[in-house]
A = this chain, B = another copy of it.
Amino acid sequence: MRIGELSERTGTPRRLLRYYEEQGLIIPDRCANGYRTYDERLVDRVMQIRGLLDAGLPTRIIKQILPCLDKPRAIHFSDATPEMIATLENERDRMTERIKCLTRNRDAITEYLDAVRSNNRSDAASEASTTS
């Protein structure tokens, strides 16, 4: 598919698809006229990239971890230098921290919302009992 379709299907501005390419996150083919042409699988890949960006990872890191997330992965064992492994372990730990932080705060929001809701219910109840 061409860039327009990928853009529509992933909800990503064309500008950013080119940017991700520039950052080495995706590598489209080119057809004879110079147009980029994207493999079907890049739809998921782009959404994965967007999710990771939204979760605070910079493209530099995403580029490093992306190749390790594919199966079959035997192909990528060559990347597994000790430095790379250390990087991955470090990023995994940072992601775990992020998950903890997000979970904690999300749960607090949920709790707050529950409290507000039950508060409103009792408001409504007492109002009903005084106005009727």
Contact = CB atoms under 8 A, between A and B. Distances in A.
A103 interface: yes
B99 A103 contact: yes
Contact of A92 (B88, B109, B119): B109
Contacts of A112: 68-69, 73, 76, 88
B113 A106 contact: no
When all copies of this chain in the complex are counted, the total is: 2
Interface string A114-132: 0110011000000000000
B97 A51 contact: yes
The contact size tier of chain A is 35 or more
Contacts of A103: 99
B77 A116 contact: yes
A1 interface: no
23 contacts: A48-B101, A48-B105, A51-B97, A51-B98, A51-B105, A52-B101, A54-B97, A55-B55, A56-B56, A65-B105, A65-B109, A68-B108, A69-B105, A69-B112, A77-B119, A80-B116, A80-B119, A92-B113, A95-B109, A98-B102, A99-B99, A99-B102, A99-B106
